[in-house]
């Protein structure tokens, strides 16, 4: 009887350990998927690919850019951003994307991002949601400045 209880305890601990570790792996996968989504979002603007952009952002998403060069704020809905890219009013040059941190909480996430080119730096935060198993940008709030 004691060996039965011992085996039951060992299997319970083993099952609990597997369950805890299984919960960690999706977050690691999610972080990679989130970084890829952000990179695709920025690249689609850079290449003026409105079709890919519309796949990377939720339909009611928003983009807010605080332009420290002009001291103005640009506040766009997802459809306005897609239209600007489609009409070649935004994008058209290559930028580098650095995701410095990602925090995942279930089907939502927050990422700290820096987007740079030779002259400009854009830093801020992206929020993302997991929609039907796919990460999409819900909002981007960044500050645009001249590179120092």
Cβ atoms within 10 Å of 39's Cβ, excluding its own:
17
Please tell me whether residue 75 adopts helix, strand or coil conformation: strand
Question: Using one digit for the tens of pLDDT, what is the confidence trace for 108-148?
Answer: 999 999 999 999 999 999 999 999 999 999 999 999 999 97
pLDDT exceeds 60 at position 17: no
Give the mean model confidence (pLDDT) for residues 103-109.
94
Q: Which residues of 101-129 are buried (b: 16+ CB within 10 A; e: fewer)?
A: ebebeeeebbbebebeeeeebbebebbbb
Nearest to 136 by CA among 29, 60, 23: 60
Give the mean model confidence (pLDDT) for residues 5-11.
43
**pLDDT classification of 7: cutoffs 50, 70, 90:** very low
pLDDT of the residue at 128: 97
Residue 103 phi, psi (nearest 5): -115, 120
pLDDT of the residue at 102: 96
Question: Using one digit for the tens of pLDDT, what is the confidence trace for 23-70?
Answer: 444 577 899 999 999 999 999 999 999 999 999 999 999 999 999 999
CATH number for 80: 3.10.450.50
- Cα dist. 60→32, 47, 113 in Å? 24, 22, 21
List the domain range (segments joined by +) for residue 22. 2-146
Total domains present in the chain: 1
- 16 vs 48, which has greater pLDDT? 48
pLDDT exceeds 80 at position 1: no
pLDDT of the residue at 15: 43
pLDDT of the residue at 26: 53
């Amino acid at each position: 009887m004691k060996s039965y209880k011992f085996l039951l305890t060992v299997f319970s601990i083993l099952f609990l350990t597997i369950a805890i570790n299984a919960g960690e792996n999706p977050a690691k996968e999610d972080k990679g998927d989130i970084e890829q989504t952000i990179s695709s979002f920025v690249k689609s603007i850079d290449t003026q690919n409105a079709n890919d952009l519309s796949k990377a952002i939720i339909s009611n998403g928003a983009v807010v850019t605080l332009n420290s060069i002009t001291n103005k704020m640009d506040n766009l809905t997802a459809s306005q951003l897609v239209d600007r890219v489609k009409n070649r009013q935004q994008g058209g040059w290559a930028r580098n994307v650095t995701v410095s941190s990602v925090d995942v909480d279930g089907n939502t996430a927050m990422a700290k991002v820096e987007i740079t080119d030779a002259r400009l730096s854009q830093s801020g935060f992206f929020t993302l949601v997991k929609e039907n198993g796919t990460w999409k940008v819900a909002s981007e709030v960044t500050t645009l400045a001249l590179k120092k």
